[in-house]
Structure 1
Amino acid sequence: MIRIWIWLAAAGAAGTLLRHATNLAAIRIVGPRHPLGTIVVNLLGCFLFGLIWHVAEYRSWIHPQARLVILTGFLGAFTTFSTLAFESVHMLQRGHTGFAMANLIGQNVAGLACVAFGMFLARALTTGGLPS
């Protein structure tokens, strides 16, 4: 059990480092004002998640623990957008269209709201109080 945790942590570290390297490369290419790094990471992560999951699930070419390490550890750190996209597609494939749409819309709207609230709270705490 401990061994899988070590592999997950190592894969997570690798995913984090690759995400950072991708962002740095994108900044060098288009500058810091464009989210190219995030776009590349999210779309590449989605593609890799779908590819690896399908090969592991339907071809059994990847051991279940290796799949866990790659999808959860590496891609989980590389991008969480890939997991959101995969879960939504999986719901659609099972005929759960309402759940898939609620998942996509709900997480995006809630995510935006949480970012805005976090920024609001940080601003309030660092400037001496809530705005009136």
Structure 2
Amino acid sequence: MVYLAVAIGGFLGACARYLVTEALGTLRGFPIATLLINLCGSFGLAWFYTITVERLPIHPHVRAGIGTGFIGAFTTFSTLNVELWSLWRSGLWGWFGLYAVASYIGGILASGAGYTLAMRQSRLHTVSTGKDVDP
């Protein structure tokens, strides 16, 4: 059954990625759509996994369908690298460097922001319900 959840999530995530890519495309040769997709995915995955562990337990199949399926299909490491190669090959060194740094460092920062937000939300929930906070 988990396979079905991942397949449905993957279908929806791939469709969402396609729609965002079609809507945004590139900005003077810079792959803005993929950058935004991957940064949003980094933030979203870190937030989602943290909040579902800390505050909002959900069924493992739903978690896999959203995390592995939807977000996994929405984001794309292969497209990132093909676009980096294309910028490199075209001699667009500035765009190449900006895209690489924004993608990798930005992805790490977005993941940290998602985790931090989820932990803050988890603590607020704990305070409002009066439950003890584990150290």
Structure 2 unmatched ranges of 5 or more: 78-106, 113-135
1:20-66 Cα distance to aligned partner (Å, 9 max, x none): 11111112x846x2201101100000111011111111113432221
Q: What is the number of residues matched between the two proteins?
A: 82
2:6 is aligned with 1:8 = yes
* Residue number in structure 1 paired with 2:17: 19
2:64 is aligned with 1:68 = yes
Aligned ranges 1:85-124 → 2 under 5 Å:
none
- Give the aligned residue type for 2:20: T
60-69 vs 17-26, which deviates more? 60-69
Please tell me whether the aligned partners of residues 4 and 65 of structure 1 are also in contact (alpha carbons under 8 angstroms).
Answer: yes
Aligned alpha-carbon RMSD (Å): 2.6
Please tell me whether the aligned partners of residues 26 and 37 of structure 1 are also in contact (alpha carbons under 8 angstroms).
Answer: yes
Select which of 43, 46, 71 maps to 1:47. 43
Structure 1 unmatched ranges of 5 or more: 90-132
CA distance in 2 between partners of 1:20 and 1:75 (Å): 13
TM-score between the two structures when normalised by the length of structure 1? 0.54
Please tell me whether the aligned partners of residues 5 and 61 of structure 2 are also in contact (alpha carbons under 8 angstroms).
Answer: no
**Partner of 2:48: helix, strand, or coil?**
helix
* Residue number in structure 1 paired with 2:116: none
Please tell me whether the aligned partners of residues 9 and 69 of structure 2 are also in contact (alpha carbons under 8 angstroms).
Answer: yes
* Residue number in structure 1 paired with 2:52: 56
- Structure 1 residue runs of 4+, over 6 Å off? none
- Greater relative contact order structure (CA < 8 Å, 6+ sep): 2
Cα drift, residue 80 of structure 1: 4.6
TM-score between the two structures when normalised by the length of structure 2? 0.52
- Give the aligned residue type for 2:31: P
